[in-house]
Amino acid sequence: MTKLSVNINKIATLRNSRGGNVPNLLSVALDCERFGAQGITVHPRPDERHIRYQDVYDLKAEIATEFNIEGNCQEQKFIDLVLANKPTQVTLVPDALGQITSNHGWDTITNKRYLQETVKRFKDQGIRVSIFVDPDEQMIEAAAETGTDRVELYTESYATNYTTDAQKAIEPYVKAAQKAQQVGLGLNAGHDLDLNNLSYFSKHIPGLLEVSIGHALIADALYLGLPETIEHYLAALRS
Please, which pLDDT band fits residue 97 given cuts at 50, 70 and 90? low
106: containing domain: 3-238
Going from the C-alpha of 149 to that of each of 66, 100, 152, the distances in angstroms are 15, 27, 10
Read off the pLDDT of residues 62-91 as tens digits, 9 standing for 90 and up.
999 999 999 998 889 999 999 999 999 999
Q: What is the mean pLDDT of residues 10-31?
A: 97
Kindly report the average pLDDT of the chain as a whole number.
Answer: 95
The span from the CA of 129 to the CA of 28, in Å, is 25
CATH of the domain at 130: 3.20.20.70
CA 118 to chain centre: 18
Q: What angle do CA 184, 137, 187 make, to 5 degrees?
A: 45
DSSP SS3 for 68: strand
169 close to 158: Cβ distance less than 8 angstroms:
yes
| Confidence (pTM) | 0.94
- Tell me what pLDDT residue 17 has: 95
- One-letter identity of residue 1: M
Read off the pLDDT of residues 164-221 as tens digits, 9 standing for 90 and up.
999 999 999 999 999 999 999 999 999 999 999 999 999 999 999 999 999 999 999 9
Catalytic positions are 43, 70, 191
Q: What is the CA radius of gyration of the chain?
A: 17
Q: What is the mean pLDDT of residues 155-170?
A: 97
Please, which pLDDT band fits residue 104 given cuts at 50, 70 and 90? confident
Domain count, the chain: 1
Q: What angle do CA 7, 68, 177 make, to 5 degrees?
A: 90
